[in-house]
Amino acid sequence: MAILPDLKEFVANHRPHGTLTPTLGEPTPRGYMLELACPCGVPFMRWMTAPDLVEDVLRERLRVERN
């Protein structure tokens, strides 16, 4: 599951609407909920696990280093 591309697209589309408000749910053994609220009322919500986050960060790092 790659969250970074979805998150970047959401931020690019909704940043012009104002300040985006992040919320992280309480961590559980299975992960946590990430929510980013836009003033226009559209939320970005994804269930995250630690491996998902590590994979996304590593993939993004490799992409940046190649460019």
pTM given for the model: 0.71
Three-class DSSP category at 46: strand
Residue 20, both tokens: 């985006």
pLDDT tens-digit map of 25-42 = 888 888 889 899 999 999
Q: What is the pLDDT of residue 1?
A: 52
pLDDT higher than 90, residue 4: no
So what's the pLDDT on residue 24?
86
The mean pLDDT value of the chain amounts to: 86
**Torsional sign, CA 22, 64, 48, 38:** positive
d(CA 23, CA 34): 6
Q: Are strands 43-48 and 32-37 parallel, antiparallel or unpaired?
A: antiparallel
What pLDDT does 15 receive? 95
At 32, list the tokens.
């946590």
* pLDDT > 90 in the chain, percent: 39
